Amino acid sequence: MKTLLRLNFLKNRALIFATLGMHAFVALLAPYLRLSSTDSQDSAALLQGPSLNHWLGTDSLGRDVFSRLLHGGRPSLVIAFAATAISCLIGIVIGSVAALAGGWIDDALSRVIDFMLALPTLILLLLISSFFGQDPLILSVALGLMYASPIARVARSATQTLLARDFIRVARLQGGSRISILFGEVMPNVWRVMFTEVAMQFTWILLAFSSLSFLGLGASPPTPEWGLMIAESRSYMTLNPLLVIAPIMMLASLVLAIQALVDHE
Amino acid sequence: MITTLTQSQILGFSNVTVRIKNEARDSRPILEAIDLQLERGETLGIVGGSGSGKSTLLRLAAGVLAPGLVLDQGEVTTVGKNLLVATQAERSNIYGSVVALVAQSIGESLTPHLTVLSHFSDTVSGDVVDERVLESLAEVGLGGEKYLYRYPHQLSGGERQRVLLALALVRSPQLLLLDEPTSALDVSIGSEVLTTIDRLQRSRGFALICVSHDLGVVSQISKRIAVMNQGRIVELGQTSQVLRSPSHEYTKALVSSIPKLDQRIRESGSQNNETVLVCRGLGIVRGQTTRAIDSLDLEIKRGEVLGIIGESGSGKSSLLSAICGLVSVTSGSLHDGDGYDLSTALQMRPREVLSSIQMVFQNPDDSLNPMRTVAQSLSRYTQATNSEVSSALLSVGLGEQFLTRRPREMSGGEKQRAAIARALLAKPRLLLLDEVTSALDVTVQAAVMKTLADLQRKLNIAMIIVSHDIALVASFVDRILVLRHGQLVEQGSVDAVTNSPRDSYTRNLLDISARRATI
């Protein structure tokens, strides 16, 4: 029992990096691997189990599940990266400006952050995507805006802590301007503190986009995407459980590996 | 196997070596070949610099080894037991009733949401609570029921330390372990706490180990002293013997590094009549209403070194902050030598006024940007060239190799030297030093002060040095100022203040300092 407990997968560095490496490899190189087409339908082979031709079987339209699975992370990852970058940019700028300016500017920005935090993210995303369609750019910007507020809040308090530190005082005594102190002293250190928060945000955005796809408002068919794959196949779960289990495993392993890495650092 | 202690012994270390887990065998261990026995009722002080292994040794005596450390060889026996392999049940029996440890950080050792009484209810059970608690609180000098229902934030630093002491002693342990019992306290309060500990030890007769970086502290309450350096006990003997005729090189350096009232580190230099700072009727209010400084008059000449002494809350840091512009002046006037009004906000000051007053802060870990190299930190705002940075570093005793180092690769003393070099690069006429050596080991402190003395003579700049250590200040400055509750209670030349102090607080500080020097 004790040895079993010691096999704590989330603390196994090699395993974390192997999982992340596998995901990076697949996401970057899936189009260049000699896989079956993700879209070609084989009406003679619907909902088949694993075979030599189709390693994980086929879905309800006779498409190769393995190939779709390897391609399925790309749309969510692209959007998650873009949205995280946007939320970081907005969040860190708002947060550190609020802390640096203080006074009524801080109050005003903090209330905006509070307001954003109070919005129900998923419902708002559903609204946006039903109004503006499933354009990846709009979705990235919307996700980026939605998820900027927690980053802004952490950035604000990180900046406040930093401002009380002596090396910032010395910079002021030696004539550093607010801007040069912000970018030269505060930002690099805020970024170091923010890494954890940002990595966690990335996983939340990844999950949010997959949830949208699952609800039919993220990636649009026939794009291979994990959330969408789960939605499309859940009626056939009993015929070929791999149809649902495989994309779930991919999504879960990626999210867990990122979170475990963050815990580790 | 357990090393047998004689009937009279309470603690035994035999050939104990502790290493960092998974570290190479040839690397320096945390503790190396420690042999140490403690008799019942005996008092032992352990003194050493940071990283000497003294705290590890103390924790080991309580059977605790920090995570990441392993006992490489040897045995630790506390009252006949090897506590390192004791079961949880055995430990909880022993802790409190046989061995008690008072950890260093008084700020974190009490639970914020529990009253003093609640802290005791875990240790003492049943109906006897109130009586026993009152009794032990009274013993540490916190008599009366009023303390029972106070929360930690309603206690002063000294009172917290006393509560911790009472908690440790309530189950009458045979061995009391103290880790830096006074390092977070003001000198006068620390001294009172030590007197209490000494009195309790004499009346109860428990054995005591006290760890401190301060030779003065351990010598006040222990008959024997162990001097530690780099994981080894380099000298062990009777306190008076060790202090009077130290035999090991490190002990000699340690003893000679302690600032003494009658021993100058710096000779008074040439002063001229050029004024660098004048303040008249200065008042500073912090927060809403707290008066940090109240109607203070002060004048400093070029090349003069002024020392300010005061306990925490006396307003000494506020004064420095106001002079350099980090805190705004509430009333009175503050001008530099050219008549520039220093009560203007920092952002409004012209560059040459800004550079003319520089400050070095207390905490070495906080004074350099952790993300930058020393060269970057030193040149970023001073616009100094590479060669200027190198020569400034050289003048504070740091070689070229430090240019590319980051703060995490430097010791506290090195970081503080770099911070001094950075202040000097701005070519100040007045340098403010806020407890710059209080976080450093005594030997390092002596070296940094020596460097400062050399620089002051060479550059002939004015300095204001703030410290809680009257001996350090007296050995360095030309003139002393004593602050209490924001008011000037004493002012004069070093000789005048140390020989015939007028204020009772100054007399008290001098007494404590003298007592330490003569032990």
Task: Give the residue, A10 or B388, on which the prediction is more confident.
Answer: B388
Q: Report the chain A residue with the minimal C-alpha distance to residue B359.
A: A170
| pLDDT-above-90 percentage for chain B | 21
Inspect the interface and report whether the beta carbons of B326 and A188 lie closer than 8 Å.
Answer: no
Which ipTM value was assigned to this complex?
Answer: 0.79
DSSP B95: B
Look at residue B129 in the predicted model and tell me its pLDDT. 62
A61 CB neighbour count, 10 Å cutoff = 15
Distance from CA of A217 to the nearest CA of B (A): 43
Inspect the interface and report whether the beta carbons of B361 and A184 lie closer than 8 Å.
Answer: no
d(CA B481, CA A156): 40
CA distances from A69 to A40, A56, A58, B166 (A): 14, 9, 11, 65
Interface contact B352, partner A, CB < 8 A: no
Residues A182/A96, Cβ–Cβ less than 8 Å: yes
* A46: pLDDT strictly greater than 50: yes
Inspect the interface and report whether the beta carbons of A166 and B426 lie closer than 8 Å.
Answer: no
**Bridge partner list, B224:** B44, B238
Inspect the interface and report whether the beta carbons of B380 and A192 lie closer than 8 Å.
Answer: no
d(CA B79, CA B92): 14
Q: Report the chain B residue with the minimal C-alpha distance to residue A171.
A: B381
d(CA A237, CA A244): 6
DSSP A123: H
Q: Rounded to the nearest 5°, which phi and psi values hold at B16?
A: -85, 125
Inspect the interface and report whether the beta carbons of A172 and B361 lie closer than 8 Å.
Answer: no
User: Residues A213-225: what's their mean pLDDT?
Assistant: 82
Give residues with Cβ within 8 angstroms of B412, minimum separation 6. Answer: B50, B364, B365, B439, B440, B441, B444
CA distances from A254 to A15, A22, A249, B35 (A): 12, 9, 8, 53
Decide: helix, strand or coil at residue B233. strand
**Bridge partner list, B309:** B467, B482
Task: Give the residue, B438 or B271, on which the prediction is more confident.
Answer: B438
Residues A213/A219, Cβ–Cβ less than 8 Å: yes
Distance from CA of A166 to the nearest CA of B (A): 5
State the helix-helix crossing angle for A242-264 and A187-214, rounded to 10 degrees. Answer: 170
Inspect the interface and report whether the beta carbons of A171 and B380 lie closer than 8 Å.
Answer: yes
Give every strand in the sheet of B69-78, ordered side by side.
Answer: B31-39, B9-20, B69-78
Out of B357, B381, B419, closest to residue A171 by CB: B381
* Amino acid type, A214: F
Inspect the interface and report whether the beta carbons of B419 and A175 lie closer than 8 Å.
Answer: no
Interface contact A18, partner B, CB < 8 A: no
Distance from CA of A172 to the nearest CA of B (A): 8
Residues B234/B248, Cβ–Cβ less than 8 Å: yes
User: Residues B63-91: what's their mean pLDDT?
Assistant: 82
Q: Among B141, B235, B253, B242, which Cα is nearest to B197's?
A: B141
pLDDT (tens digit per residue) in A7-19: 566 677 888 888 8
For residue B368, list chain A residues with Cβ-Cβ distance below 8 A: 167
For residue A172, list chain B residues with Cβ-Cβ distance below 8 A: 326, 346
d(CA B104, CA A235): 63
For residue B389, list chain A residues with Cβ-Cβ distance below 8 A: none
Query: If pLDDT is split at 50, 70 and 90, which confidence band does B65 have?
Result: confident
Interface contact A11, partner B, CB < 8 A: no
Cβ neighbourhood burial of A114 (10 Å; 0-12, 13-18, 19+): exposed
Q: Report the chain B residue with the minimal C-alpha distance to residue A181.
A: B381
Interface contact B370, partner A, CB < 8 A: yes
Alpha-carbon torsion angle A218, A222, A225, A228, nearest 10: 60
Look at residue B307 in the predicted model and tell me its pLDDT. 93
For residue A188, list chain B residues with Cβ-Cβ distance below 8 A: 369, 371-372
Look at residue B192 in the predicted model and tell me its pLDDT. 87
DSSP A186: I
Q: Among B139, B212, B203, which Cα is nearest to B170's?
A: B139
d(CA B291, CA B486): 7
Task: Give the residue, B128 or B423, on which the prediction is more confident.
Answer: B423
Distance from CA of B439 to the nearest CA of A (A): 14
Give residues with Cβ within 8 angstroms of B65, minimum separation 6. Answer: B18, B56, B59, B71, B84
Look at residue B357 in the predicted model and tell me its pLDDT. 92
Decide: helix, strand or coil at residue B434. strand
The full DSSP string for A27-74 is: HHHGGGS-PPPSS---TTS-S----SSSTT-B-TT--BHHHHHHHTTH
Interface contact A101, partner B, CB < 8 A: no
Q: Among B296, B308, B306, which Cα is nearest to B275's?
A: B306
Query: If pLDDT is split at 50, 70 and 90, which confidence band does A41 have?
Result: confident
d(CA B478, CA B492): 9
Query: If pLDDT is split at 50, 70 and 90, which confidence band does B1 have?
Result: very low
For residue A166, list chain B residues with Cβ-Cβ distance below 8 A: 361-363, 366-367
Residues B434/B361, Cβ–Cβ less than 8 Å: yes
For residue A162, list chain B residues with Cβ-Cβ distance below 8 A: none
Inspect the interface and report whether the beta carbons of B380 and A172 lie closer than 8 Å.
Answer: no
d(CA B397, CA A20): 47
Interface contact B106, partner A, CB < 8 A: no
416-445 in chain B: CB under 8 A from chain A? 419, 422-423, 426
* Amino acid type, B252: K
* Amino acid type, B126: G
Give residues with Cβ within 8 angstroms of B33, minimum separation 6. Answer: B15, B16, B17, B74, B232
Element (H, E) at B38: strand B31-39
Alpha-carbon torsion angle B3, B8, B10, B12, nearest 10: -40
For residue B418, list chain A residues with Cβ-Cβ distance below 8 A: none
* B123: pLDDT strictly greater than 80: no
Q: Rounded to the nearest 5°, which phi and psi values hold at B209?
A: -120, 125
Distance from CA of B180 to the nearest CA of A (A): 25
d(CA B387, CA B380): 14
Inspect the interface and report whether the beta carbons of B380 and A189 lie closer than 8 Å.
Answer: no
Q: Helices (DSSP H) in B361-411: which residue ranges?
A: 374-379, 386-395
Which of these ranges, A115-129, A173-187, B268-282, has the smallest mean pLDDT? B268-282
Residues A138/A128, Cβ–Cβ less than 8 Å: yes
Inspect the interface and report whether the beta carbons of B361 and A173 lie closer than 8 Å.
Answer: no
Q: Helices (DSSP H) in B17-53: which residue ranges?
A: none
Out of A175, A184, A189, closest to residue B370 by CB: A189
User: Residues B132-150: what's their mean pLDDT?
Assistant: 84
Out of B355, B359, B370, closest to residue A175 by CB: B355
Task: Give the residue, A74 or A47, on which the prediction is more confident.
Answer: A74
Out of B326, B354, B369, closest to residue A174 by CB: B354
Q: Where are the beta strands (DSSP E) in B438-518?
A: 462-467, 479-484, 487-493
Residues B14/B75, Cβ–Cβ less than 8 Å: yes
The pTM is what?
0.79
| pLDDT-above-70 percentage for chain B | 96
For residue B382, list chain A residues with Cβ-Cβ distance below 8 A: 174
Per the listing, tokens 């969040």 go with A91
Segment of A189-203, B199-213, B437-451 carrying the highest mean pLDDT:
B199-213
Inspect the interface and report whether the beta carbons of B326 and A184 lie closer than 8 Å.
Answer: no
User: Residues A164-190: what's their mean pLDDT?
Assistant: 88
Q: Among B474, B432, B472, B476, which Cα is nearest to B454's?
A: B476
Out of B366, B372, B382, closest to residue A174 by CB: B382
pLDDT (tens digit per residue) in B297-346: 999 999 899 999 988 778 888 899 999 888 888 888 888 888 888 888 88
Element (H, E) at B229: strand B224-229
- State whether the Cα torsion B134-B138-B144-B148 is positive or negative: negative
d(CA B473, CA B306): 9
* B519: pLDDT strictly greater than 70: no
Output the average pLDDT for chain A: 85
Look at residue A48 in the predicted model and tell me its pLDDT. 76
Inspect the interface and report whether the beta carbons of A166 and B324 lie closer than 8 Å.
Answer: no
How many CB pairs below 8 A link A and B? Answer: 59
Query: If pLDDT is split at 50, 70 and 90, which confidence band does A32 have?
Result: confident
154-213 in chain A: CB under 8 A from chain B? 165-167, 169-176, 178, 180, 184-185, 188-189, 192
Distance from CA of A158 to the nearest CA of B (A): 15
User: Residues A49-76: what's their mean pLDDT?
Assistant: 80
Residues A71/A38, Cβ–Cβ less than 8 Å: yes
* B423: pLDDT strictly greater than 80: yes
Look at residue B477 in the predicted model and tell me its pLDDT. 92
Q: Report the chain A residue with the minimal C-alpha distance to residue B324.
A: A173
